[in-house]
Amino acid sequence: MKRKLVVTALLAASLAACQANPVSGRKQLVLVSEEQAQASSAQAYAQTLSEAQKKGKLSTDAALNARVKRITDRLIAQAGNMYPPSRGWEWSVTVIDEPAINAWCMPGGKMAIYTGLIEKLKLTDDEIAQVMGHEMAHALLGHGREQMSRAIAMQGGMTLGSIVVGRDLSGLAPVADLAVTLPHSRASESEADRYGVELAARAGYDPRTAVRLWEKMSAAGNGGPPQFLSTHPSPDNRIQALAALVPQMMPIYEKARR
């Protein structure tokens, strides 16, 4: 009986927590407030950087760090036009010196890109902008909050009780870690592709390079995507969708370049 009540309460809470995203319009499960998501992400980010520093994994390449910051600063300047509340975020980007082909952005704009991604794929500035635009779009579209909510919904039990009683979701840092490690849904990835290319175009980065980037991604995985892209749309489908976006994005890019 108790289990049935918990399941019923979980379903009720989930239905009540479905909200339309202000950028995409898609309904999302949101059990975590923006403030809670950002606070837990900041804690998880600080811990990630502390561990990387202890292992000597924070990039000391001043030129590379400056290059990544220059690119992301241009993207951040345009992010506020896509999602105005992001103008108040404490954005931060770190280059992690590891061979993994990886990059991510937590709620609130806490970002990282790995040297393996830049070096193995020999990324141009435009291609780095496409990667980071994609990852930043996840944050602007609330995908991290959506992942945290999925993790909480799966946990159930005591976490559900805190949601129903008063939304006291303390101890969310492990859930924030899950927001990075859990795979995004196919719908989220397609959204991040669409809005990431637009974000990069607004910042003056060529949308045509998005197609070239994902061709490189596919080649890096010997015909399939690297592991961190394993739940993304298939490379062929993604490249076709991005190629179809290019004509829509070129006027935005050309205006930004002017």
Q: What pLDDT is recorded for position 165?
A: 41
Q: What pLDDT is recorded for position 237?
A: 83
Q: What pLDDT is recorded for position 183?
A: 56
**Burial 25-34, CB ≥16 within 10 A → b, else e:** eeebbbbbee
Please state, in angstroms and as integers, the Cα–Cα distance from residue 234 to each residue in 87, 115, 209, 226, following that order. Answer: 33, 24, 18, 11
Mean pLDDT by 10 residues, the chain (258 residues): 48 60 83 88 95 97 98 98 96 97 95 98 98 97 85 60 49 52 71 96 98 90 53 72 96 96
Q: What pLDDT is recorded for position 57?
A: 98
Residue 63 CB burial class (10 angstroms; 0-12, 13-18, ≥19): exposed
Please state, in angstroms and as integers, the Cα–Cα distance from residue 205 to each residue in 108, 134, 137, 253, following that order. Answer: 23, 13, 15, 7
Q: Report which residue type is found at 150.
A: R
Whole-angstrom Cα distance, residue 224 to residue 238? 12
Could you confirm whether 135 is annotated as catalytic? yes
Whole-angstrom Cα distance, residue 85 to residue 75? 15
Which one, of 200, 190, 203, 204, lies nearest residue 237 by Cα? 190
Q: What pLDDT is recorded for position 94?
A: 98
Put residue 69 in one of left, alpha, beta given phi > 0 → left and psi -120 to 50 → alpha: alpha
Global pTM reads 0.81
Pull the structure tokens for residue 190: 């397609």
Token pair 């606070």: residue = 39
Phi/psi at 58 (5° precision):
-85, 130
Q: Catalytic: which of 34, 98, 119, 135?
A: 135
Q: What pLDDT is recorded for position 208?
A: 98
DSSP the chain: -HHHHHHHHHHHHHHHTEEE-TTT--EEE--S-HHHHHHHHHHHHHHHHHHHHHTT-B---HHHHHHHHHHHHHHHHHHHHHSGGGGGS--EEEEE--S---EEEETTTEEEEEHHHHHHTT--HHHHHHHHHHHHHHHHTTHHHHHHHHHHHHH-HHHHHHHHHT------HHHHHHHHHSPPPHHHHHHHHHHHHHHHHHTT--THHHHHHHHHHHHHTTTS--GGGTTSPPHHHHHHHHHHHHHHHHHHHHHHH-
